[in-house]
Structure 1
Amino acid sequence: MNQRVRHIYAGGNTARGYRSFLDSVLSGITKRIVLTGDVEGLPSSLIQAIGEKAVHQVKLVEWIHSPFVTGAIDGVVIPEWKAAVVDGSYPRQLKPQAPGLREIYVDLQRVVSKERLVRHKDDILALQEKVHVETERAQHAFAEALRVHEEWESVFIAHLDREQANRVCDEVLRLFFGDAYAEKESTIRRMYLGAATPEGPHDFVPNLTEVVPKRYLIKGRPGSGKSTILKRLVAEAEQRGFDAEVYHCGLDPNSLDMVVVPERGLAIFDSTAPHEYFAERDSDEIIDMYARAIAPGTDEKYKEKLEKYRVRYKEATKKGTAHLKEAQEARLLLSRLYLDATDQERVAEIRAAIVRVLDV
């Protein structure tokens, strides 16, 4: 089965602030067009136009989705050409490697009329401030959600059979690798499984596992060892020389939610809310960490306490989502102001120039 389009998140509004894996996502990409100038809304439309043109000419296109505005695009990666076009505006982060050689910076302020923007100066300043304040409030709410989640986890960690959890982990390693080693250095590519967005948590698990023949879905409770298994799996892949796609948690970037080992045709992911999935294919298998490694009766013993954690966690994440929604509305208003001040003929010239550089 061939896959022509993949959807990923490279950055996220996390409990630890905005965190980006864009450098890892672009590993191996030697032709990078970076759109600068902080012209709200324009990079996304440019990237989409260029990516849509490439979709019909290459085997695979990866869309990097924005966690800030629903439906917006932060970048497009074309692996076949080792090329990418990305939004380099704040707060997205891309470490320069060889400006002018690997990175070509395109300043989009050149296509915007300063005279037109001046007419809306006060509105623009107010909207920019609202974006900053609401995004910061969202991240504070997600930080509270993570604190609650850690309290939630503590209940199950206290009742975790570590010996049994390690046994499950060893089983997973054998399932993935057996005695196999790859005679090369591994490549570890990191991104997010999903993201906190203005519409709530969102992920692309079905798309990202579409061509993976075998999937393992880990079920369990917070603190039952799911992320630990995935971290050990990544370390094992690296030691054995196998490439791995590593998908971090959109709430806590220090935690892992999914690992794909393409050369082995295998994927394993945390299949609990907010990215809960069920066995849909004959080849899917469930790994239930609650049943395998948590003391029986834990749910029942702490029923009231666990329900309070669940409610507090839901309230905090809902609050964070509401703030992201407010920030998105401000961004969309900014987009309209910048669009009104944009010279579309000059935009078309820039798009054509990028297409020539990419040889689309």
Structure 2
Amino acid sequence: MKGSITKFFGQAMTGQGMKNLYQEIIKEADKVYFLKGIFGFNVSNLLKEIGYHYVNKGHDIEFFYDPLFENTIQAVFIKDIHTLFLKSSTPSIEPTHLGTRDQIISFYECLDEASLKKHGQRIKELSEEINKWHNKCFASLQSAIEIHDEWEEQTQSHMDWKGLEQHRDELFDQIFDGMLLNKKGVLTHRLFGTLTPNGARDYLQNITRNLERRYFIKGLPGTGKSSMLKKLTQDALKRGFDVQKVWCGLDSKSIDMVILPELKLCIFDSTAPHEYFPEDGRAGDQIVDIVKHCKLIEEAEEKIQEISKEYRNAIQHATNYAKLYAEAEKEMREIIDLSTNLSKWKTQSAHLF
């Protein structure tokens, strides 16, 4: 019997820069293979092979995807044996438990120096392009966050916070039904969505496919959705439940979803850009409407219309720059693949099987 595949993003393009949670995921692992090198797309294909190798042996796995390129994988986690295979080309992601948990597999020697010299001038030009479009993309995202903050100021000044608090407490009573577990809850972290060169994307349907209850939070920006999820996380951990905290793909300080595996339940921010509604045939789907706690006056609604237009424009600029960033990055990775000695590559990657 084959195992299952759950999909997450490995990184998110946020208003505070590129965010990843690999340091947190590494903590879950008993064994980590750090794949070190200058990589093109070959490493994604290798990680897919590793993932399907374990799936075909009956293991459940998680794939972590690159926000720049559809179906391009940065890491694979084999859940039941707690083994992580990770493309480790980011300075902040380094092994800390060498000799025990961590093992380095180096692919640097797989690069052909003659081929790299042949493409040297183009590599230099592409590096400059990548840096330019990267900076413009994230400057636009930072601007979008600042505009979003103005949006939140408008809604927050018209919130019935006591009404929201009562609504939240009633919801939590419904979720937990007085249950306490005789153990310590474990907290893990994931990313389910991000901006991409093709707009906002997420893996919500894949992540929640086997959950029995799904709560769809409907609320305006700044009206307490993320704070509610953070409070739920705290309460669940105090009650001994394991919690998966799923972070926002635009604001790195905010969370969009909480999963309680032992209750087969999730609750998430179901507003744009990841707006979903209950599905026919899924009895456990339920809307949590907190819009009713925000009573906007006409002046505020008009101001919000202006702000939301500015926000959409900033996101569109970021998306356009992300496309240019990805185009330059794609050509760079293709050059790296062309400059890779496949015989040496196969020898090095054989260690991973």
What is the TM-score of this pair, normalised by structure 1? 0.93
Task: Trace 1:170-209 onto structure 2 (pairs within 5 A).
Answer: 170-209=169-208
By how many angstroms is 1:8 displaced? 0.6
1:252 match: secondary structure? coil
Q: Distance in 2 between matches of 1:331 and 1:192?
A: 22
Matched position secondary structure for 1:81: coil
TM-fit CA distance, 1:95: 5.0
**After the TM superposition, which of the residue ranges 270-279 and 307-316 deviates more from structure 2?**
307-316
CA distance in 1, matches of 2:157, 2:265: 31
Once residues 58 and 330 of structure 2 are traced to their aligned partners in structure 1, the CA distance between those partners, rounded to angstroms, is 32
Structure 1 Cα separation of the partners of residues 38 and 15 of structure 2: 24
**Aligned residue in 1 for 2:322:** 324
Q: Deviations over 1:291-331 (max 9, x none)?
A: 1x112xx1744332221111111111111111111111111
Instruction: Give the structure 1 partner of residue 215 of structure 2.
Output: 216
Matching of residues 101-140 of structure 1 within 5 Å: 101-140=100-139
**Structure 1 residues 279 and 301: CA distance shift in structure 2, 3 A:** farther
Question: For the residues of structure 1 that align with 2:94 and 2:190, how far apart are their CA atoms?
Answer: 15
Distance apart, 1:44 and its partner CA:
1.3
Per-residue deviation, 1:143: 0.7
* Corresponding position: 1:162 with 2:161: yes
Shift of 1:81: 2.0
What 5-or-longer segments of structure 1 have no aligned partner? 356-360
Q: Deviations over 1:45-83 (max 9, x none)?
A: 221121122221133110001123222111011012211
The 5 Å alignment of 1:1-360 reads 4-90=4-90, 93-94=92-93, 96-280=95-279, 281-291=282-292, 293-295=293-295, 298=296, 300-355=298-353
Q: What is the SS of the residue equivalent to 1:80?
A: coil
Q: 1:299 to 1:276 in 2, by over 3 A?
A: farther
Q: In structure 2, how many angstroms separate the alpha carbons of the residues matched to 1:198 and 1:164? A: 40
| Letter matched to residue 231 of structure 1 | K
CA distance in 1, matches of 2:308, 2:94: 38
Aligned to 1:247, what secondary structure does the other structure show?
Answer: strand
> What is the SS of the residue equivalent to 1:89?
coil
State whether residues 27 and 189 of structure 1, in contact with CA within 8 Å, keep that contact through their aligned partners in structure 2: no
Residue identity in the other structure for 1:153:
E
Which secondary structure does the structure 2 equivalent of 1:169 belong to?
helix
> Could you list the per-position Cα deviations for residues 6-58 of structure 1 after superposition, in whole angstroms to 9, with x for gaps in the alignment?
00123222100112211222332111111111223232122112112222113
Corresponding pairs, count: 350
Q: Residues 3 and 211 of structure 1 are in contact (CA less than 8 Å); yes or no, is this contact kept in structure 2?
A: no
Runs of 4+ deviating beyond 6 Å: none
Please list every run of 5 or more consecutive structure 2 residues that lacks an aligned counterpart in the other structure. none
Q: Report SS of the residue matched to 1:234.
A: helix
SS in 1 for 2:80: helix
Q: 1:345 to 1:3 in 2, by over 3 A?
A: closer
Deviation at 1:345, TM superposition (A): 1.6
Tell me how far apart the structure 1 counterparts of residues 349 and 173 of structure 2 sit (CA, whole Å): 49
Q: Percent of counterpart pairs with the same letter?
A: 28
- Per the alignment, residue 358 of structure 1 pairs with none
**Structure 1's 326 and 353: CA in aligned 2 closer, same or farther, altered over 3 A?**
same
Distance 1:113 1:85 in 2: 24
Shift of 1:140: 1.0
CA drift at 1:153: 1.0
Shifted more, 96-105 versus 7-16: the winner is: 96-105
- Equivalent-residue separation in structure 2 for 1:3 and 1:285 (angstroms): 29
**SS where residue 163 of structure 1 aligns?**
helix
Q: Secondary structure at the match of 2:210?
A: coil
Confirm or deny: 8 A CA contact 2:140 2:318 kept in the other structure.
Answer: yes
Structure 2 counterpart of 1:338, one-letter code: I
